[in-house]
Structure 1
Amino acid sequence: MKTFLRAYDLWESMEKGYTPPENSNNLTVAQMKPAKVESTNNFKCLSFLHSAVAESIFPRIVASSTAKEAWDTLQEEFQGTERVRAIRLLNLRRDYENLKMKDSETVKDYISKLLEVVNQMRIYGEKVTD
């Protein structure tokens, strides 16, 4: 999803978050344009998130009023807290260290298992070099 939002030049808007102006009636013309762009980017991001998630996940983010709020909800739901991520990463490191090729296993199957563990480690923030 990050890549998708970066492709549409929306990721910075997602990271920064969106706060609607407190008194939009008193904005000058110079202030209105950036506020409108920020609002549009927020709702584009939110729309992309709504369309990207499965129907079973959608109810969890439908009440979010900003894209950042929806993103944070999804992150908490699927990656967990910092402590949970650290524990999962430790388990993945252990799996990586203990991974051995079985006699009945093909090289292709072994490489697939290895890449699966490495990709999971990368998802949780581990820097794995080739």
Structure 2
Amino acid sequence: MQQLIQGIDLESWIAVEEGWIHPTITDAEGKEIPKPKKSWSAKEKLEAKFNAKALSAIFTSLPMNQFTKVQGCKSAKEAWDILQVSFEGTSNVKRTRTDMFKSEFENLTMSAGESIDDFSSKLSSIRQEAIVLGKTYNDKKLVKKFLRSLP
């Protein structure tokens, strides 16, 4: 998703990271109210555009069951934060998942009837999932694991 949004526009990804807030003005009573779009500055319009692009990319990339979690969001950052917790979990969940991937990696063996391609795909899949959680396996470790796992 990050690559998709950055591909659309780097400024759109910045809107995801930093967030966007609807411009406001102070009314006669001293309360902040949403600023009418007609009176937005060029910078405010540009920031809103980047947020809209990112939010649109997020919305259109999600299946319906995930979209319902973020459909009311007005900023891409708000939607992104919800999805991060949904997919990655809190730091405790991340730590637990990382530990599970470590165990899965260490216990992975190639079965007698399994092709080298299939086993290599399993190993690659575990590596990619671990990267998402912040754990990396270097090539040397992967080659050792591959050779040790051969029947």
TM over 0.5: yes
Given candidates 84, 109, 114, the residue that maps to 2:123 is: 114
Q: Identify the range of structure 1 (48-57 vs 102-111) with the bigger mean alpha-carbon deviation.
A: 102-111
- Which of 6, 12, 15 is 1:13 aligned to? 15
Instruction: Report the aligned-residue RMSD.
Output: 1.7
Asked which structure has the greater CA Rg, the reply is 2
Q: Report the residue type matching 2:23 in the other structure.
A: P
- Once residues 48 and 24 of structure 2 are traced to their aligned partners in structure 1, the CA distance between those partners, rounded to angstroms, is 13
- Runs of 4+ residues over 6 Å off in structure 1: none
Q: Which residue of 2 aligns with 1:88?
A: 97
Query: Contact 2:59–2:67 at 8 Å: present in 1 too?
Result: yes
Which stretch shifts more, 31-40 or 113-122?
31-40
The aligned length equals 126
- Paired position in structure 1 for 2:53: 44
Q: Would you say the 8 A contact 2:94–2:133 is kept in 1?
A: yes
SS in 1 for 2:41: helix
Identical residues among aligned pairs (%):
29
Q: Which stretch shows the higher mean deviation, 82-91 or 102-111?
A: 102-111
Q: Unaligned stretches of 5+ in structure 2?
A: 26-34, 140-151
Q: Distance in 2 between matches of 1:76 and 1:53?
A: 15
1:25-46 per-residue CA deviation (whole Å, 9 max, x = no partner) reads 7xxx9x8111111111111111
Q: Offset at 1:21? A: 2.2
CA distance in 1, matches of 2:76, 2:118: 39
Amino acid at match of 2:123: L
| Residue 34 (1) aligns with residue 4 (2) | no
